Structure 1
Amino acid sequence: MPFMTSNPALARALAEREYDNPTPVQLAVLAPDSSGRDLLVSAQTGSGKTVAYGLAMADTLLGTDERFALASAPQALVVAPTRELALQVQREFAWLYAATGARIVSCVGGMDPRQEQRLLNQGAHIVVGTPGRLRDHLERGRLDISAVRVAVLDEADEMLDLGFREDLEFILDATPPERRSLLFSATLPRGITALAKRYQREALRIEVASAEGGHADIEYRAIRINPSEVEHAVVNVLRFYDASSAIVFCNTREKVRHLHATLQERQFSAVALSGELSQNERNQALQALRDGRARVCVATDVAARGIDLPSLGLVIHAELPNDAESLQHRSGRTGRAGRKGVSALLVAPFRRRRTEELLRSLGITPVWSGPPTVDDIRKLDHERMLRDPVLTDEPSEDDAAAAHTLLAAHSAEHLAAALVRLYRAGLPAPEEVADPGEPRGVRERAPRAFDGPSGAGGSAWFRLSIGRRNNADPRWLLPLICRRGNVTRKDIGVIRIFDEETAFEVGIDAVDRFSKALRKADGSDVVIEPLPGGPPVGRPEGSGPGKAPHGKAPRGKPAHEKPPYEKAPREKPFRDKPFRDKPAQDKPGYGKAAHGKAAHAKPEHAKPAHERPRGPKPAGQSTGERQLGSGRPNTFEGKPKGKKPRRP
């Protein structure tokens, strides 16, 4: 279906790029009832929004005219949350408006503001920028947006999350009130709707969501790893998929630096992208990915939005994102515009539940597996080598002559082995990694003999899509299984309940009847299907280490089988018996105080009054007066007559 655009210049640009099938958001924006109106559009990342509002702007700015008039004050303003997204919009508009003579100027942080000022002074038709830099130009009088006819807010929810509300309001207040406004956002929270209500006039609300939730072209892989082998797992995943370009996401700048250095040591052509780099360095890193000089980008979430690499086929989450929205935007860098991609999450055992919650909130069911092994990668290397153009292309005359010379000197097997070594020498070596294994309740094992009443000849295992998290209980599961499978209780053997599912045995005599009954649709949400390979090996509900099958503690051995108990002799502390038997007065130190004085030698103040020496009182001291500095308590020569003297 061709694009429904009335402008011939833009139609030719789309035809040159082979844009034949518009995306749902592009169809909605270009529909007749959307023409000339304010739009509030909600669409997932990678849905072609940039081209959508680029075409919608053209209807207002050009109509059917093929070229713009002489550039003066900007007629259109596009505000994006990040530098990368703003520059990406500028690149998209460059080819879309190439035949119209449009002057497109970008104003983003990290670039030279004086250069931007010179470009603005020369005139511009469309200005694309970030909120902070645009406001700075407005406050300094470098940017005049009084003639703006169309204002676009791209990724508006992200701009609010980054704290740009005041800047956005300042910019929109400076635009003419009659301008057309197009607001695009992945989600429509309360802040976005409030902003639209204030700055838009009777906006048409468009919500575009695919049936697959925006993940139709992305294959999600959850890879079990050991926490200490993250870097080795990244190496093997990159080698296994061998994508033309890939992004590895980390949560911190330090992790980006470390992993980037590690990949370069492993012979990967890698670049780094984080907030600590200058805008020029970030532009150079992205350009290296676009022109093929680099194949791997190690980045923080600064690259999760606004980066469109046509050849990006793999996204690796070396560290899990903080929320589901970040996971969605990270993965959205691949699988864009109908191209297929892979999003691989490296999951340590203690992060499995968190990973399942993130993916479940997005409606994603990943494929769980261990990390690619060395054998898996070597096998793929052999297949890729056979498809390499070096072997498939016809050799030239010079090549054929050199080949005859080599065959005269060496055998064909020797030359083939040398070719394999040369091919492997240009590839990073895979790493030995271990699979930590499935958690309890997920692994599988071979089926065991059926122990049900009617299954003496064997059994078959089936899976039911209800587990412990759904409050599964045998008391109501068994009637459900019998009703769905048209069998009786005696045909059902062991029932094992796990976290996400339930495995159960069906006697071999009832398997055919059970399978035929399952093919009939009954409108139930409960899925029952065969379980090849036997039941998952895990700890059933109510069991645990040291417990019997039904959760009871195992009985010990009978008394006659236990070894006789021998009581070890008790060691008593050493005591000097002769010392203990001596009389107290004969023991050394008897009668001595702690400092070696005789124990009976009492200080003067501790003696009774009649034993204390008496002498003349010092002059000027009366009876009962405290003797200061004597170290003795108050003493009286006798009991005073009369009342007890008051304390002063």
Structure 2
Amino acid sequence: MTFSQLPQPLSDALTAQGYENLTPVQAAVAEAEARGRDLVVSAQTGSGKTVAFGIAMSDELLADSSIPYAEAPLALAIAPTRELAQQVSRELEWLYGKTGARIVTCVGGMDPVRERKALERGATIVVGTPGRLRDHLERGKLDLSALRVVVLDEADEMLDMGFREDLEELLDASPETRRTLLFSATMPRPIEALARRYQTDALRISTVSENRGHGDITYQAVTVAPADVENAVVNLLRLHDAETAILFCATRDNVKHLHSTLTERGFSAVALSGEHSQNERNNALQALRDKRARVCVATDVAARGIDLPSLTLVIHVEIPRDAETLQHRSGRTGRAGKKGTAVLIVPFPRRRRVEGMLRGARIEAEWIAAPTPDVIRAADRGRLMEKLLAPVEADEEDREIAREILEKVSAEDLAAALVRAHRAAMPQPEELIGNSPEAREARQRPGFDDVVWFTMDIGRQQNADPRWILPLLCRRGHVTRNAVGQIRINSNETYFQIPRAQADQFMRSVERTANDESGDVENTIRIQPATDTPRDAARDRRREGPQGRGRKPHGREDGPRGNYQPRPTGGPRQERSGGGGKPFHKKPRKGNW
């Protein structure tokens, strides 16, 4: 369908916004058979649904290319989250900008008094979340008697979030002659029941292909050692050098920690989770739009309704809870015909689960290793050459300064200074334990087919990390790095392998260093042969129940417990030793990215 078949104000707005063609869902709702009818629309995320229902409601709103005067709202759009409602408002504002439509947004977390005053002054289109709209309705500030069209955006999500009663009250208060447009990514039974109750002879439109993976998104799965998740995040951000990237974690605490870690390492990052106020969320999103920040660390609160045109990279720091969440998270990129990349960080033990999730979502993902510093430096070199060799427009003052510098230093020294300044502004890539030559050899070299498992009485809760555990074992056990096999870190203990041929000598050395009176914190850590393998120990903990040793309860507010437990990477906490040993703190890296 061409723009000429749309009302002139909408056609002009789409052209001004850079649209060349309508997306499939936009074209479908504008077809002759869809006009004036109730609609049930299924479309994948990022397919232009907001503009689609903006086009669909135009027949009820536009008379002679302008909005007729009305004392009460003519259209109501309901969305599950504040961010999505505000995004819908922004889209409708430019789409209906030349029609004289007055759009009012009513969402939780904003000033309700200001919203009521806006409603009293008159609104053509009201956009809001179910709870806030119901509150205005019950206070007599939202008059739905003149309503011509109602839109339920992400209806499946609203029902999942418990908004059924709110939706039913709003729909029951609107005229039976209204059009009802129901947009939902999935069509479970509750959605079917809602459609039967509130729609008449609804036309079903589906633009979801059998291959549910978004065609404009390239999926990658990166396998890492469990302790390497944070370092893999750093390296992925450095490799892709995305204009804007969003990182998804499962809990608020994990968002807070990862945000702090990235900021410390020199990334310009913002955080977004349920613990942030609406103003804080708005400021974070505006920082991303203004390019003052390039990375957003978020819970699944940002999986819907966040539309950033410059977003080209999504990283699933923690594995999504299901295929639907994977789709919605990834759908923040690859929108409106633009290309994007979605990367899942997969600890080695979770690969089978992720493979099943990808099959269920019908997504073809490329399995790759985490980028190494050498790969990142090669990419940096190419980007740097492209940037420095690009033509520049310089005024005479700039060229005068350049000539003065060249009189004092050689061209080679000047170029070297530019390269150094460019590199200094970027965070350094990380060495990944799982990608190191020692780790690869440990999985392949002979001698590790017969091993003895040992334990240490420190784990994640004590900041255990392979980067300082490995040299610690070498010093305590008088062995080389090649003599240490797998390292598995649990909540309060760490397992590691030593070849059976070296196990006795290793243990004797450990006992001698434990009696060392140097006062070093390392020597207070107890190391002993394990009574179980890590697999057996994990099975025993599961049998003890959700509150058993080393386990945490489920039911966190932003999602289930994920596979990734963020932690500082310095070393064991000093208070364990009671002695005067030096803590293993890393110096923070500086620079702006």
TM-score by length of 1: 0.66
- Bigger Rg, structure 1 or 2: 1
Counterpart position of 1:289: 288
What is the deviation of 1:242? 0.7
For residues 245 and 201 of structure 2, the distance between their equivalents in structure 1, rounded to whole angstroms, comes to 42
Superposed, 1:177-188 pairs within 5 Å as 177-188=176-187
For the residues of structure 1 that align with 2:399 and 2:78, how far apart are their CA atoms?
A: 59
Superposition pairs for residues 93-492 of structure 1, below 5 Å?
93-210=92-209, 212-388=211-387, 392-435=391-434
Q: Deviations over 1:256-288 (max 9, x none)?
A: 000111111111111110011111111111111
Aligned counterparts of 2:386 and 2:435: Cα–Cα separation in 1: 34
Higher relative contact order (CA 8 A, sep 6+): 2
User: What is the CA-CA distance between 1:69 and the residue it aligns to?
Assistant: 2.8
**Partner amino acid, structure 2, of 1:383:** G
Which AA in structure 2 matches 1:279?
A: Q
Question: 1:13 is matched by which residue type in structure 2?
Answer: A
Aligned to 2:510: none
Which residue of 2 is the match for residue 26 of structure 1?
26
Aligned to 1:49: 49
- Cα distance in 1 for residues equivalent to 2:40 and 2:150: 12
Secondary structure of the 1:193 match is helix
Show the counterpart of 2:582. Answer: none
Contact 1:85–1:305, Cα closer than 8 Å, also in 2: yes
Q: By how many angstroms is 1:405 displaced?
A: 2.5
Deviation at 1:9, TM superposition (A): 1.1
| Inter-partner Cα distance in structure 2 for 1:3 and 1:201 | 29
CA contact (8 A) 1:229 1:433 kept: yes
The answer to whether structure 1 residue 2 and structure 2 residue 33 are counterparts is no
Give how far 1:21 is off.
1.1
Give a deviation string over 1:45-98, Cα, whole Å, max 9, x none. 1111100110110112114x2221335210000010000000000000000000
The amino acid of 2:369's aligned partner reads G
Confirm or deny: 8 A CA contact 1:249 1:319 kept in the other structure: yes
Partner of 2:588: none
- For structure 2, the 5+ residue unaligned runs are 446-593
Cα deviation, residue 5, structure 1: 4.0
1:388–1:191 distance in 2 versus 1, CA, 3 Å: same
How far the C-alpha of 1:437 sits from its partner, in A, is 9.5
Does the C-alpha gap of structure 1 residues 180 and 435 become closer, same or farther in structure 2, counting only changes over 3 Å?
same
Tell whether the 8 Å contact from 2:40 to 2:181 is kept in structure 1 after alignment. yes
Q: Could you say what secondary structure the match of 1:293 adopts?
A: coil
Kept in 1, the 8 Å contact 2:41–2:204? The answer is: yes
- 1:371–1:434 CA contact under 8 A, matched in 2: no
Note the C-alpha offset of 1:391: 5.0
Deviation, structure 1 residue 125: 0.3
Structure 2: distance between partners of 1:147 and 1:410: 76
406-415 or 365-374, which moves further after superposition? Answer: 406-415
Question: Could you tell me how far apart the structure 2 residues matched to 1:394 and 1:206 are?
Answer: 51
Q: CA deviation at 1:409?
A: 2.1
For residues 390 and 142 of structure 1, the distance between their equivalents in structure 2, rounded to whole angstroms, comes to 61
Residue 183 of structure 1 aligns to a residue whose secondary structure is strand
- Alignment check: 8 A CA contact 2:29 2:52 kept: yes
Following superposition, the deviation at residue 10 of structure 1 comes to 1.1
Which AA in structure 2 matches 1:182? L
| Secondary structure in 1 matching 2:3 | coil
Local SS of the residue matching 2:341: strand
Shift of 1:293: 1.2
Instruction: Give the secondary-structure state (helix, strand or coil) at the position aligned to 2:18.
Output: coil
**More helix by percentage:** 2
- Aligned partner of 1:526 in structure 2 is none
> 1:408, CA displacement in angstroms?
2.5
Alpha-carbon distance in 1 for matches of 2:200, 2:298? 40
Q: What is the alpha-carbon distance in structure 2 between the residues aligned to residue 391 and residue 422 of structure 1?
A: 17
Q: Distance in 1 between matches of 2:54 and 2:179?
A: 13
> Once the two structures are aligned, what percentage of the paired residues are identical?
62
Q: Distance in 2 between matches of 1:317 and 1:5?
A: 41
Which amino acid in the other structure matches residue 140 of structure 2?
G
Check 1:196–1:172 CA distance in 2 against 1; reply closer, same or farther (3 A cut). same
Task: Report the 3-state secondary structure (helix = DSSP H, G, I; strand = E; otherwise coil) of the residue aligned with 1:383.
Answer: helix
- Structure 2 length as normaliser, TM-score? 0.72
**CA shift for structure 1 position 206:** 1.1
SS of residue matched to 2:222: strand
Greater mean deviation of Cα atoms: 369-378 or 296-305: 369-378
Cα separation, partners in 2 of 1:146 and 1:389, compared to 1, 3 Å: farther
1:162 aligned partner, one-letter code: M
Unaligned segments of structure 1, at least 5 residues: 446-648
* SS of aligned partner of 1:91: helix
CA contact (8 A) 1:324 1:358 kept: yes
- AA aligned to 1:87 is Q
Per-residue Cα deviation, 1:555-600 (whole angstroms, up to 9, x for no partner): xxxxxxxxxxxxxxxxxxxxxxxxxxxxxxxxxxxxxxxxxxxxxx
Deviation at 1:407, TM superposition (A): 2.5
Asked whether the 8 Å contact 1:222–1:366 carries over to 2, the reply is yes
For the 8 Å contact 1:370–1:435, the answer to whether it is kept is: no
Distance in 1 of aligned mates of 2:213 and 2:34:
23
Secondary structure at 1:271's aligned position in 2? strand
Distance in 1 separating the partners of 2:25 and 2:319: 29
CA RMSD of aligned residues (A): 2.0
**1:258 counterpart letter in structure 2:** H
Does the 8 Å contact 1:224/1:437 carry over to 2? no
| Offset at residue 399 of structure 1 (A) | 2.9
In structure 2, do the counterparts of structure 1 residues 174 and 389 end up closer, same or farther at CA, with 3 Å as the change threshold?
farther
What amino acid is the match of 2:35?
S
Measured in 2, the distance between the counterparts of 1:20 and 1:400 equals 41
Retained in 2: the 8 A contact 1:226–1:349?
Answer: yes
Once residues 337 and 148 of structure 1 are traced to their aligned partners in structure 2, the CA distance between those partners, rounded to angstroms, is 30
Are 2:63 and 1:58 aligned? no
Asked if the contact 1:217–1:339 (Cα under 8 Å) also holds between the matched residues in 2, the reply is yes
State the distance in 2 between where 1:135 and 1:48 align: 27
Q: In the aligned structure 1, how far is the partner of 2:306 from the partner of 2:263?
A: 22
Code of the residue aligned with 2:55 in structure 1: it is L
Per-residue deviation at 1:7? 1.2
SS at match of 1:143: coil
C-alpha separation in 2, matches of 1:390 and 1:71: 59
SS in 1 for 2:98: helix
The offset of 1:211, in angstroms, is: 5.5
Q: Post-superposition shift, 1:245? A: 0.4
- CA shift at 1:390, angstroms? 7.5
Change over 3 Å in CA distance of 1:260–1:205 after alignment to 2: same
1:164 is displaced (CA, Å) by 0.7
* Number of residue equivalences: 442
Quote the Cα distance in structure 2 between the aligned partners of 1:309 and 1:40: 27
Partner of 1:16: 16
Question: How far 1:389 moved relative to its partner?
Answer: 5.9
Amino acid at match of 2:161: L
